[in-house]
Amino acid sequence: MRPRTGPRPNVPVTIDGVEHQAYEGETLLELARRVGVRIPTLCHLEGLSVYGGCRLCVVEVAGDRRLSPACALEVTAELEVTTQSWDLHEHRRRIVELLFAEGDHVCAFCVSSGSCELQDLATEHDVDHIHYDFAHPDQAVDASHPKYSLDRNRCVLCTRCVRVCDEVEGAHVWDMAMRGSQGRIVAGMDQPWGEVADCTWCGKCVLVCPTGALSFKGRATSEMVHDPDVVAFLAAAREDGEWLDRKADA
């Protein structure tokens, strides 16, 4: 995480019984990561806007019966939260199970097995069975793009691809279509990906995908290695003016 500059943190926040000082405007997730407290996330990605869709980062807030997503919870003075409890573990485990049940996630031959955040979350939350009926979606694989491939059966609708394409690449190829269980990501207002002229082939959507939904075409089982940190790198490099013509300045 990029170190902050400016005023010292001065907002007292208690996480799991330990008091920390937060910056004004910081989210609970940012604070937690800065002070080394692990809160699981899936849709959140540093360098992209906050989506708050997956609900894996929910925490218990003192005085509030509802669970709050840490990624979208801005710190306030005297905030007291619990990030680890049996209830939270169960809650998060069920979310992971529902994601497995909703899609068609077969790690055995998945291109992203070993480089999959959903797989890691399942391990972290002791998912050894799925207690829900599988939906068995039968969505066609979109392999029309010359370089990349989209398997919607493995998509968890985190919208990282939608956000990175819009906010970082500026191409806005991806969108969410439909709602609820019918929801799916679409390229170019629901065209085959390979026919979308706006796609710059940059591959950022593929690098940030947390599962095997987006991958480099032609990769076999376990061959896909995602690199979601690329976004934080790009955001920092952009702020630092890494790509300015320094010779001109000289």
Partner 1 sequence: MHDIHHTIDPVTRIEGHAKITLRLDDAGEVADARFHVTEFRGFEEFCKGRPLAEMPGITARTCGICPVSHLLAASKAGDAILGVTPPPAALRQRRLLNLGQILQSHSLSFFHLSAPDLLLGMDHDPATRNVFGLMQAEPEIAKRGIRMRQFGQEVIRSVSGRRVHGHQIVPGGVTEAFTTEQRDVIAADIDEILSAAEATLELLDSVSGRFDRELASFGAFPSLYLSHVQPDGTWEHVDGRLTMIDHDGSVVLNQFDPADYREHLGEAGKSDSYLKSPYYRARVDGDDPRPGMYRVGPLARINIAERFGTPIADQGLADFRERYGRIASSAFLYHHARVLEVIACAERIAALMDDPVLLDTRVRAQAGINANRGVGASEAPRGLLIHDYEVDDDGLITAMNLIIATGQNDLAMNATILSIAKEFGDGPELTDGMLNRIEAGVRAYAPCLSCSTHAIGQMPMKVQLLAPDGELLQEGRRD
Contact residues: partner 1, CB under 8 A: 108-109, 111, 140-141, 143-144, 146, 149, 151, 194, 217-223
Beta bridge partners of residue 67, listed in sequence order: 60
- In the complex, the smallest distance separating the C-beta of residue 145 from partner 1, rounded to whole angstroms, is 9
CB of 162 to partner 1, least distance (A): 23
Cβ 62 to partner 1 shortest distance, Å: 48
Query: Whose CA is closest to 176, among 156, 194, 195, 196?
Result: 156
CB distance 45 to 231 below 8 Å: yes
**Number of residues that this document lists for the chain:** 250
The residue (of 34 and 219) whose beta carbon lies closer to partner 1 is 219
Question: CA 7 to CA 172: how far, in whole Å?
Answer: 36
Residue 148 Cβ vs partner 1, minimum distance, rounded to whole Å: 11
Start-to-end CA span in the chain (Å): 30
Q: What are φ and ψ of residue 130, in 5° steps?
A: -105, 120
Task: Report the residue number, 149 or 159, with the smaller CB distance to partner 1.
Answer: 149
Q: How many helices (H) and strands (E) are present in the chain, helices listed first?
A: 7, 10
* Residue 144 beta carbon to partner 1: minimum distance, rounded to whole angstroms: 6
- Please say which residue, 21 or 144, places its beta carbon nearer to partner 1: 144
| Burial of 197 (C-beta count, 10 Å sphere; 0-12/13-18/19+) | exposed
